[in-house]
Amino acid sequence: MSLRATWKGYLKLGEVVCAVALYTAVSTSERVRLHMVNRRTGHALNRRFVDPETRKEVERADQVKGYEIASDEYVMLDPEEIAAVVPAGDKTLSVEGFIPCGEVDDLYFDRPYYLRPADEVSRTSFAVIREGLRRKQVAALARGVLFRRPRSLLIRAYDQGIVATTLNYDYEVRSVAEAFEDIPDVTIEGEMLDLARHIIDTRMGIFQPETFVDRYDDALAELVRAKIEGRKIAAPKEPARGKVVDLMDALRRSAGLSGKEGTKGEAAKRVGKSSAGKSSASKSSTRKTVARKAPARRAG
């Protein structure tokens, strides 16, 4: 495997232990990265910590972490003090129990990692754990210390390996009831609901992540290429926004019904037709080559 492991340790299920390596499953390293630069000199800028009162730069030896207890008043914590209270890691992901796949609300998903055997000796025990999860269609809940922080992980069989997803703690997930408490109850029925169902049925597809385009990243890449090549780039046009008379009219138009067709009977006839078998084959979009490796500038 060409990827570099970010953590190595052991996966422990009862008395079954195997050496494993953890690899980051999601990376932002391919995004276009911009730096802060001095407009006059073209030099990249360095970040420095400055005391707001003295206006002087603070040396690294004098930089400590602190917790604000009042306005501009902090309790200072030395690195040794923090290390003394943080649970020590034993490089082990210990399985504590199992739950049906799909049981965990994805609001609790934090970051996914690929987990694979770290050596040949561990391949058999790793496969036993993986296939046990797959056959029983369950996920394992494990605990361990990752990157100096205790974490809970959801472990699932995935292809020939395992995906370990760190989980957000309950206090980190904001209350759903609080977010939606002021949304009033609205009863939707009749033609309006039939049209909504029809629109969904006619646009059903499958999840194809390769068709999603990062338009922001692509726009930055094109802008960088244009600057290097000395050409101007046109700003994207604003999408046309049609005026919506009312919700029912918008639903009828979205369902492909014109104003004349927009009668209740015609809508019911359209909605009644089965949309099964309709699938739009979309070509997988190849990401544009980003101008990370800029061509050499011409002399003179």
Per-residue pLDDT at 18: 95
Residue 247, helix vs strand vs coil: helix
Contacts of 32 (CB under 8 A, 6+ apart): 217, 220, 221, 224, 290, 291, 292
Give the ranges where 22-122 is alpha helix by DSSP (H): 79-85
Instruction: Note the pLDDT of residue 99.
Output: 95
Q: What is the pLDDT at residue 27?
A: 87
State the Cα–Cα distance between residues 33 and 47, nearest whole angstrom: 16
Determine the pLDDT at residue 196: 87
Query: Given the DSSP bridges, would you call strands 7-13 and 92-100 parallel, antiparallel or unpaired?
Result: parallel
What structural domains and CATH numbers belong to the chain? 11-27+93-172 (2.40.290.10)
Q: Which amino acid is located at 114 in the chain?
A: Y
Sequence-distant (≥ 6) Cβ neighbours of residue 174 within 8 angstroms:
none
Regarding pTM above 0.75, the answer is no
Position 289 scores a pLDDT of 43
| CA dihedral of 82, 85, 87, 91, whole degrees rounded to 10 | 40
Task: Determine the pLDDT at residue 269.
Answer: 55
Alpha carbon 64 to chain centroid, angstroms = 31
Encode the chain (300 residues) as per-residue pLDDT tens digits: 578 899 999 999 999 999 999 999 998 888 889 999 999 999 999 999 999 999 999 999 999 999 999 998 999 999 888 888 877 778 999 999 999 988 899 999 999 999 999 999 999 999 999 999 999 999 999 999 998 889 999 999 999 999 999 999 999 999 988 899 888 888 887 888 888 888 888 888 888 888 888 888 888 888 888 888 888 887 777 776 666 567 778 778 888 875 545 445 554 555 554 343 433 333 333 344 444 444 333 333
